[in-house]
Amino acid sequence: MSRTESIDVPERVTPHVTRLRANAKEGAFARRMAKVWEFATGTRMAGYVLVAPAVLFLAVWFVWPVLTMVHLSLTSRVVEGVSVEGFTLENYVRLFSSDLYFRILLRTLRIALLTSLFTALFAYPLAIAIARGGPSLARLVTITLLAPLLVNVVVRSYGWQTILNKTGALAWVLKIFGISNPPVLLYTEWAVLIACVHVYLPFMVMPIAGAIGRIDRSVEEAARVAGATRLAVLRRIILPLSLPGLAVGASLVFSLSAAAYVTPQILGGNFSPLLGTLIEQQILTLNDWPFGAAISTLLIALVLASNLIFLKLVSRRFARWTAGAR
């Protein structure tokens, strides 16, 4: 009998064959459902489910407003107080063609960079005290550092206004040391810088303290046994291995200080405005929403670009130092 010829199945066997085929189909379906259930209850799907609320929240309250702002900056302009619709780049051309706006942009970047630099310099001793000091010292430094966060930034800014005034505490202390004509700091870039360093210092200290706390102490002890000084240990071990914490802190401080509004408005006023102050003036005072949206878009783009470049450089340096250590 050839292979192509069909085999006659007895009638009494037919129900059993049908049942076997049905069982095979049910088994395949059960296996497919088991795979689906395994995927749905697996780590990957569980991660998607856990992240979904945060993604939805950011999409509704951050991504959509930002896209709306970018659309407004590109499709509207104000001519003699009247909003004119239509695609245009006039808002950005106006922003870069004016010397006043360009100087405000440079001032914003300068204060943000200096704030990040000074907070990093002040943060390392405090972070080392938190990570390497005793429990009492660590608690004292942490409470002292985080206690000002309980006070509103407006109150702290007015406090610095009182200190930096001509008749304030700083002038009084300088007169005690024989300086009869103290320099005027209020409504200058220095006043804004001092207050920003004070306000955003905790955002630099805590990530660095966490990074230093993860460094194995045996590495430092081995360096000290090999004859390294404390400064050498700080420069060759603590600083390179704490670069991830420094990158996080610098990104936070730079972003917050570049987008600051309350502190520059109170301590800088109209004499040292930043982009945040300029945005407020364009939107609330002049009612020029398209130009304010263009400034806001530029600010977001600058902050994102600066953070990405800085994080890329830090990651390369960290990888190079860790590879050299191995």
191 vs 28, which has greater pLDDT? Answer: 191
Give residue 28's pLDDT. Answer: 66
Under the banding of pLDDT at 50, 70 and 90, the label for residue 22 is low
Note the pLDDT tens digit of each residue in 166-202.
888 888 888 888 777 777 888 889 999 999 999 999 9
Condensed to tens digits (0 to 9), the pLDDT of residues 72-105 reads 999 888 887 777 888 889 999 998 888 889 999 9
Query: Superfamily assignment of 94-325 in CATH?
Result: MetI-like (1.10.3720.10)
pLDDT of 98 reads 87
Q: Is the pLDDT of residue 326 over 80?
A: no
CA-to-CA distance for 202 and 148, rounded, in angstroms?
Answer: 9
Q: What CA–CA distance (Å, rounded) separates 208 from 123?
A: 8
Q: Is the pLDDT confidence value at 138 over 60?
A: yes
The neighbour count for residue 168, using CB atoms within 10 Å, is 17
Nearest CA to 181 out of 170, 171, 168 is that of 171
List Cα–Cα distances, 106 to 102, 112, 177, 259, 275, in angstroms.
6, 10, 35, 13, 10
In angstroms, the first-to-last Cα distance of the chain is 74
Query: Does the pLDDT value for residue 253 go beyond 80?
Result: yes
* 4 against 301, higher pLDDT: 301
Q: Is the pLDDT of residue 258 over 50?
A: yes
pTM for the structure as a whole: 0.80
User: What is the C-alpha radius of gyration for the chain, rounded to an integer number of angstroms?
Assistant: 31
120 versus 16: which is more confidently predicted?
A: 120
Residue 297 phi, psi dihedral angles, 5° rounding:
-65, -40
Structural domain spans, the chain: 94-325
9 pLDDT above the threshold of 50: no
What are the pLDDT digits (tens) for 39-63? 555 566 667 777 888 889 988 988 9
pLDDT band at 6 (very low <50, low <70, confident <90, very high): very low
| Beta bridge partners of residue 84, listed in sequence order | 77
139's tokens: 């608690």
Q: What is the mean pLDDT of residues 306-319?
A: 83
User: Stretch 235-246: mean pLDDT, rounded?
Assistant: 88
Per-residue model confidence (pLDDT) at position 1? 45
pLDDT on residue 13? 47
Query: What confidence score (pLDDT) does residue 2 get?
Result: 47
**What pLDDT, on the 0 to 100 scale, is given for residue 172?**
85
- C-alpha 246/C-alpha 206 separation (Å) is 10
**43-52, 115-124, 303-312: which has the minimum mean pLDDT?**
43-52
Q: Could you report the per-residue pLDDT of 223-234, keeping only the tens digit for each?
A: 888 888 888 888
Question: Given a cut of 90, is residue 118 above it in pLDDT?
Answer: yes
* CA distances for 224 relative to 135, 231, 237, 240, angstroms: 23, 10, 11, 17
Residue 300, Ramachandran bin (φ over 0: left; ψ between -120 and 50: alpha; else beta): alpha
Of the pLDDT bands very low, low, confident and very high (cuts 50, 70, 90), residue 17 is: very low
**Percent of the chain beyond pLDDT 90?**
39
